[in-house]
């Protein structure tokens, strides 16, 4: 029997009551890395619907971060520029349990991927496309900020494009509710790309 301290520690996620994803979602290929886990394409075994699944291991080491991300997904993703949240599951594993966050698939990938593929063929984003991406990203941020949440890792990797071309800001792995511990949030997390604005 593996020791699972998280079932006692969590105030927000009832780990003991989480369902297994096994008869609902099956993983397909890996499609990227988030802050606290790998992301896979997945298919609903009953409906055939596709989704993105963020698989998290070593749950007890990042329990507070997982809870914060879960609350943001549960409460704030009712916005067109944030990914839909389809559910949270516990996958029993021989050695270590996995937590699965099932999210909307953005099948056109990230803005970083898009820019890289354009560069390869000698092209770049035109101003209209940049305006579209920035505008919808800002709408997502406005929604988060109105709800006292800061994302803290805005970058091309975390700005995704759906099949329809809608922009979705993703990965709340280092996001924080401001009402939790004001004064601790000047800590440096995420990717220090944004530091360029401060330094130059
Ligand atoms: C998500 C789809 C790359 C990731 C979170 C949804 C993290 C994707 C994705 O990632 N769709 C990424 C396709 C997602 C590609 C949603 C690709 C939420 N390169 O083809 Cl937190």
Task: Fill in the DSSP letter of residue 13.
Answer: S
Q: What is the pLDDT of residue 80?
A: 98
Is 146 exposed, middle or buried (CB count within 10 Å of its CB: 0-12, 13-18, 19+)? exposed
Q: State whether residue 51 is helix, strand or coil.
A: strand
Strand partners, 88: 101
Q: State whether residue 11 is helix, strand or coil.
A: coil
φ/ψ (deg, to 5) at 48: 80, 0
- Does 34 contact ligand 1 (Cβ within 6 A)? yes
Q: State whether residue 182 is helix, strand or coil.
A: coil
CA distance 156 to 116: 11
Residue whose structure tokens are 């991300």: 69
Q: Does residue 153 have an active-site annotation?
A: yes
Angle between helices 127-146 and 63-76 (to 10 degrees): 100
- Does 166 contact ligand 1 (Cβ within 6 A)? no
| pLDDT tens over the chain, length 200 residues | 556 667 677 889 999 999 999 999 999 999 998 777 899 999 999 999 999 999 999 898 889 889 999 999 999 999 999 999 999 999 997 788 999 999 999 999 999 999 999 999 999 999 999 999 999 999 999 999 999 999 999 999 999 999 999 999 999 878 888 765 545 555 666 666 555 555 55
Q: Which atom of ligand 1 is least distant from the CA of 73?
A: 21
Task: Please give the distance of CA 179 from its chain centroid, rounded to a whole number.
Answer: 21
Distance 181 CA to ligand 1 centre (A): 30
Task: Fill in the DSSP letter of residue 160.
Answer: E
Residue nearest to ligand 1 atom 8, measured at CA:
106
> And the tokens for 9?
């520690």
């Amino acid at each position: 029997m593996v020791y699972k301290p998280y079932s006692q520690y969590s105030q927000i996620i009832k780990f003991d009551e989480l369902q297994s994803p096994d008869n609902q979602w099956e993983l397909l290929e890996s499609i990227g890395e988030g802050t606290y886990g790998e992301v896979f394409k997945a298919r609903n075994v009953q409906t055939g619907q596709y989704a993105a699944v963020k698989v998290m291991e070593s749950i007890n080491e990042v329990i507070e971060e997982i809870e914060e991300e879960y609350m943001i997904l549960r409460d704030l993703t009712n916005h067109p520029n944030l990914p839909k949240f389809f559910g949270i599951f516990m996958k029993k594993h021989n050695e270590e349990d996995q937590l699965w966050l099932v999210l909307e698939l953005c099948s056109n990938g990230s803005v970083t991927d898009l820019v890289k593929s354009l560069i390869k063929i000698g092209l770049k984003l035109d101003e209209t496309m940049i305006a579209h991406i920035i505008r919808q990203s800002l709408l997502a941020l406005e929604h988060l900020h109105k709800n006292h949440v800061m994302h803290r890792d805005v970058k091309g990797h975390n700005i995704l494009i759906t099949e329809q071309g809608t922009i979705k800001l993703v990965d709340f792995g280092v996001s924080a509710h401001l009402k939790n511990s004001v004064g601790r949030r000047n800590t440096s997390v995420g990717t220090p790309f944004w530091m360029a604005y401060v330094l130059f």
